[in-house]
Structure 1
């Protein structure tokens, strides 16, 4: 059996240059990092976020386009995705990174907070994926949703967040089957990545809390004992999932977390 490949075949599996990509949550954290990295690596990127001033500035600096979008509202999502696809001339990849993670004990979580978290994290996934599907169903594509280890094993103190991410996992596994005949793969990632939001979380801790937190990380993350880096750890995985090399993978959860979610 021959293992030789033409230059064109090798190039197709080597990166994301020319890919037409929508990234939600592009105004902060991992979403912002992906907007910058994907643009730098040759993808055509449209960033969606509800935070217009910050999101537009990040996209402009990266050479990407920004469109304001509230992922919890269907009219906003449908309009933003349509504008993005018109700008891109088509759609190859949706990376849905937008989400929130407020904390509250299970017994004191107010119903308004529950609804807000589910609206943004779960309904936002549903709406953005549906909108992307309508543009991909004739040509195929990649959908990559942000889930969390919380969706697989729970998260005391953030039960609404965990429930929303569990919904994302169930959604991914369902539509991966339904949309496979259209050449669309749907996968999830479960990241444990250091972001500016995490910096603020650390800054809010007392010295004792921070010391305990860091000891817990050492015990729960076998690789390095701390959260990963956006550029070194997250971007290469997302670029692989967005490219042709992942064409035979769907309905999977890719834990980018230093081993925190491993089967034990």
Structure 2
């Protein structure tokens, strides 16, 4: 029970990676509030962990403020924010409309600003952990996702800066860049022809030294996030952890 009694907010906790992390935190004894556009089922762990949920639009200041206030009451405080919510639409750079650009930045970048600031107000007296979801796209770029890559680059710069500013208060701020097999990825694979899928799998096999395919969230990502949320990571801040089977190697 590495997170026994830890009070955690997870954004984007209603589906995909976020939902898997809510389950992992509950299994480790944490008390979790999941925030997403839709509510999800409550969980109860065998060793005192539990989760509940509330709707929240992370791009809207009033929605974030209300959701964090409600979560604060449910948890009786806050120790960890795991900010996983975001969007990743596809479009070539020359085809992105201004409305599409601003929507991606509203969710991914403004959402990071609003949720991190709301967490800061609750962590500034006793310290705690903020874990932001970034992307390899924000480090090396990604064709077809210029707006997404730019928004995640901003998340990385924000993470490094507030890690310096908030570190003296005992708040660690780190970012992760995961490459995981999710339901969204399953849908992407299902949309490919047999030839496209074979080409894609061959490409992935050459990109990921560990196994040649995307990771499993419960097996490959959850243990890292449990570590980042716990006491063992107290001396780690301002870092971008690439949890991607070696796809991107930073010097």
Into which bin does the TM-score normalised by the smaller protein fall? over 0.9
Answering whether residue 83 of structure 2 is matched by residue 82 of structure 1, we say: no
Asked if 1:190 corresponds to 2:202, the answer is no
SS of the residue 1:82 aligns to? helix
Q: Does 1:255 align with 2:242?
A: yes
- Secondary structure, in 3 states, of the residue corresponding to 1:64? strand
CA shift for structure 1 position 120: 0.6
Alpha-carbon distance between aligned partners in 2 of 1:61 and 1:88, rounded to the nearest angstrom: 14
SS across alignment from 2:131: strand
Determine the C-alpha separation between the residues in 1 that align with 2:147 and 2:211.
Answer: 29
Q: CA deviation at 1:208?
A: 1.1
Query: Structure 1 residue 108 and structure 2 residue 108: aligned?
Result: no
Q: After TM superposition, give the deviation of residue 60 of structure 1 in Å.
A: 4.4
How many residue pairs get aligned? The number is 247
Partners of 1:129 and 1:226 in 2: how far apart?
32
| C-alpha contact 2:38 2:54 (8 A) present in aligned 1 | no
Runs of 5+ unmatched residues, structure 2? none
Cα distance in 1, alignment partners of residues 174 and 109 from structure 2: 15
- Corresponding position: 1:175 with 2:195: no
Alignment of 1:131-146 (within 5 A): 131-146=118-133
Q: CA deviation at 1:61?
A: 6.8
State the distance in 1 between where 2:213 and 2:159 align. Answer: 28
Kept after mapping to 1: 8 A contact 2:83/2:131: yes
Alignment match, 2:79: 92
1:45 to 23, 32, 42: 32
CA contact (8 A) 2:210 2:246 kept: yes
For 2:217, the equivalent position in structure 1 comes to 230
Q: CA deviation at 1:165?
A: 0.5
Moved over 6 A (4+): none
Q: Corresponding residue for 1:6?
A: none
**Over residues 153-202 of structure 1, what are the superposed CA-to-partner deviations in whole Å (9 max), with x where a residue is unaligned?**
00100111101100000000000000001100000000000111110010
The whole-number CA distance in structure 2 between the counterparts of 1:106 and 1:172 is 25
1:103-147 CA deviation, whole Å, 9 max, x = no partner? 000000111111111111111011000000000000100000000
Describe the SS at the equivalent of 1:103: coil
For structure 1, the residue ranges without an aligned partner over 5 or more in a row are 1-13
Matched, 1:152 2:146: no
Between the aligned partners of 1:107 and 1:44, the Cα distance in structure 2 is 45
Q: Distance in 2 between matches of 1:104 and 1:253?
A: 26
Tell me the distance in 1 between the aligned counterparts of 2:113 and 2:250: 28
**Higher helix residue share:** 1
RMSD, aligned α-carbons: 1.2
Instruction: Name the SS for the 1:261 alignment partner.
Output: coil
1:219 aligns with 2:206: yes
What is the SS of the residue equivalent to 2:176? strand
Counterpart among 5, 13, 16 of residue 3 in structure 2: 16
TM-score, length-scaled by structure 2: 0.96
